[in-house]
Structure 1
Amino acid sequence: MSGLRFVDVCAGAGGLALGLEQAGFEPVLLLDNKPVACETLRANRPRWNVVEMDLLDFVPDEHPHTYDVDLLSAGLPRVRSSATAGRVGTDVEERLLEAAILLAHSIQPRALIIENVPGLVYASAFETLRGFVRKELEHLGYRLHWFVLNAADFGVPQDRKQGVLVALKERFADTFRPPVATVTEHISVGRALRRSMAARGWREADAWAEQAIAVAPTLVGGSDNRGGADLGPTGTKTAWARMGVNGGALADEVPGPEVVGRPGLIKLTDAQTALLQGFPTDWLFAGRKTARYRQIGHASPPPVGRALGLAVARALRS
């Protein structure tokens, strides 16, 4: 699967790019406007060409090596429905989606992968955005495939639904098939974190893991303008509590042998949330704890990126 090249915009902590790399794609350029995310990318893949810049300011003519790549990928900030119109940032997310689509005019990739909220695929509130995408891409000779994936179906121990657009040039479109589940049984939080929870000698780690039998709720990275790290809204915290987890904060380390019995709800570390997002244990995250968790919570799970990459690669090589 060598020889396929891609550009990744709004790359974040590299979840989508890592998955595409695992599927045989080689990045030509990765773009993100957050210094800490770029630091994460460079720490893990020093050879990657990482550009710290806002997508809205990106000029392809200044990066001619991005032209005529096989794939343009984007795990974009989540667009909001009309129900949340008027909130701070709403226009920014839509403008980034539009900018990613318009970038196809310049670099002319053979395929695009856009990952966002599930509602972008089917909800009436997003029909105007879908209409813009159809108009721009069909004019360029792409055919569009919209679908929803759940990361749990690809071995990620998390209930995380993702709306996906895959667009391919006409000659490749007929052979594309959306990814199918790679696991027959979802991986529970307890199974995913048993080893890490026992890493410092906590004697109750096995007992905790045996009762954490569900997949994790969707991790929410939160806003750069809001407080510290937590695992999500009130309803999500209730689901975490049923698994013996305090969803209101993160721990600096897992419990050790000095912790006797079950000390109420256990806090997860940011490294454990990365496992729940499907990152390998050797993937490093730059910044302080809250900054690390926000990168993790906003990331696309690498196993989903790998599945998407393999599906697109099969179509491009058909």
Structure 2
Amino acid sequence: MSGLTFLDVCSGAGGLALGLERAGFEPKLLLDEDDDACRTLRTNRPHWNVLQEDLLEFVPSEHLEDYDVDLLSAGLPRVKSNATAARTESGQEERLLEAAIYLAHAVRPRALLVENVPTLAHADRFRDFREFARAELEHLGYEFSWFILNAADFGVPQDRKQGLLVAIQRKWFSAFRPPPPTVDTHVAVGEALLPSMRSRGWRDAERWAAQATTVAPTLVGGSKNRGGADLGLAGTKRKWEGMGVNAHSLGNEIPGPDFVWAPELGRDGMVRLTVDQAALLQSFPEDWEITGKKTARYRQIGHASPPPVGEALGRAIATALRS
């Protein structure tokens, strides 16, 4: 087994796919229903085969002559928290989870990777889904593991816990181990964003970075039915304000030399992050272009799986498949 291949569904801005590419996997197809996300993928990787279609309607044989792949990966839209779920009846995210498992029936990959909220791996609310996945995957000849990773342990300047399902055909599964952390010290927000913050001559950039000494709270992209881009719910906004960041909206540009950082004066004295800086906090490379208008760009970033986590998972899966 030399070059490893993958089929990626709900690809979004390409964070998981980029990480898998770094781990040595070559995509046969990337699937997403969102126009902006597909444009982002095609802009950054013109040679990738990108299909704009809903996962619930996807039939592999209609789009791929050969869909024999080593890995089926799915960075699915995050299922709602209990509080949010009580306000919606769509169940779209849960249906996509099941669709990813059913797709394994058609594709029969050697490995399956599903990424979502950390509670997917252990919470009572998702017990029925885990039981459904167990029955289906065992029937298909897979063994599997549920576990949680925090992106901060892989050099991402963000406290972002991810619930993972990795299933591998029985002959290879015993060689799989969840990836260990790749950093000993977490990367702080100030360290990650200082070069960006001082790029337009902002005099207070170093002073701001010196006090932004923790990782960022989890970035969330928000729903298409929701308004403009901000950095999260009330509790998350307070954490940002503790770092002197106005989290109620995103800025259109990095502060210039005349901006005075004075958080004691309230929001107007706080710095606002830009969409490009949010992408840095998700550990996208600086040259990775996220397309669309501001809110659509931030939504793609907030929904993405950080590339360093995808790379670590890809390397762990590749090691098992090559054993």
TM-score normalized by structure 1?
Answer: 0.97
1:3-14 aligned within 5 A:
3-14=3-14
Query: Are the structure 2 counterparts of residues 151 and 59 from structure 1 closer, same or farther at C-alpha, using a change threshold of 3 Å?
Result: same
Give the aligned CA root-mean-square deviation in angstroms: 1.4
Q: Relative to 1, partners in 2 of residues 1:40 and 1:89: Cα closer, same or farther, differing over 3 Å?
A: farther
Large movers: runs of 4+ above 3 Å: 80-87, 260-263
* Residue 292 (structure 1) shift: 0.6
Kept after mapping to 1: 8 A contact 2:9/2:32: yes
77 and 309 in structure 1: CA distance in 2 versus 1, 3 angstrom threshold: same
Contact 1:208 1:244 in 2 (8 A): yes
Q: Answer whether contact 2:159 2:217 (CA < 8 A) is retained.
A: yes
Cα-to-partner distance string for 1:38-62 (whole Å, 9 max, x where unaligned):
0000000000000000001101121
Per-residue deviation, 1:91: 1.5
In 2, distance between residues paired with 1:161 and 1:137? 24
- Name 1:208's counterpart in structure 2: 208
Q: Give yes or no for the alignment of 1:298 onto 2:303.
A: yes
CA distance in 2, matches of 1:113, 1:142: 12
Q: Report percent identity of matched pairs.
A: 66
Q: Determine if contact 1:7/1:66 at 8 Å carries over to the other structure.
A: no
Deviations 1:201-240 (A, max 9, x none): 0011000000000100000111111110001000000000
Q: Which residue of 1 aligns with 2:19?
A: 19
Q: 1:240 touches 1:246 (CA, 8 Å); kept in 2?
A: yes
Paired residue type of 1:128: D
Task: Give the Cα–Cα distance (whole angstroms) in 2 for the partners of residues 221 and 179 of structure 1.
Answer: 26
Q: Which runs of 5+ in 2 are unaligned?
A: 263-267
Q: What corresponds to 1:309 in structure 2?
A: 314
The match for 1:113 is 113
Matches within 5 A, 1:125-274: 125-260=125-260, 262=262, 264-274=269-279
Q: Distance in 2 between matches of 1:193 and 1:251?
A: 14
Matched residue, 2:36: 36
What is the distance in 2 between the residues matched to 1:247 and 1:86? Answer: 25
Cα shift at 1:90: 4.2
Task: Work out the CA distance in 2 between the residues paired with 1:20 and 1:57.
Answer: 25
Is residue 230–residue 247 contact of structure 2 (8 Å, CA) maintained in 1?
Answer: yes
> 1:29, 1:66 within 8 Å by CA — same for their partners in 2?
no
Q: Quote the Cα distance in structure 2 between the aligned partners of 1:86 and 1:202.
A: 44
Could you say if the C-alpha distance between residues 216 and 42 of structure 1 is closer, same or farther in structure 2, counting changes exceeding 3 Å? same
What SS does structure 2 have at the residue aligned with 1:209?
Answer: helix
2-side partners of 1:35 and 1:193: how far apart? 29
Secondary structure in 2 aligned to 1:88?
Answer: coil
Residue by residue, what CA displacement relative to the aligned partner does 1:2-49 show, whole Å, maximum 9, x if unpaired? Answer: 510000000000000000000000000000000000000000000000
Distance 1:43 1:88, change over 3 A: same
- The alignment status of 1:54 with 2:59, answered yes or no, reads no
* Deviation, structure 1 residue 265: 1.1
TM-score normalised to the size of structure 2?
0.96
Residues 166-204 of structure 1: CA deviation (Å, up to 9, x unaligned): 000000100000000000000000000001000000011
Partner of 2:293: 288
Q: Assess if the C-alpha contact under 8 Å between 1:157 and 1:277 holds in 2.
A: yes
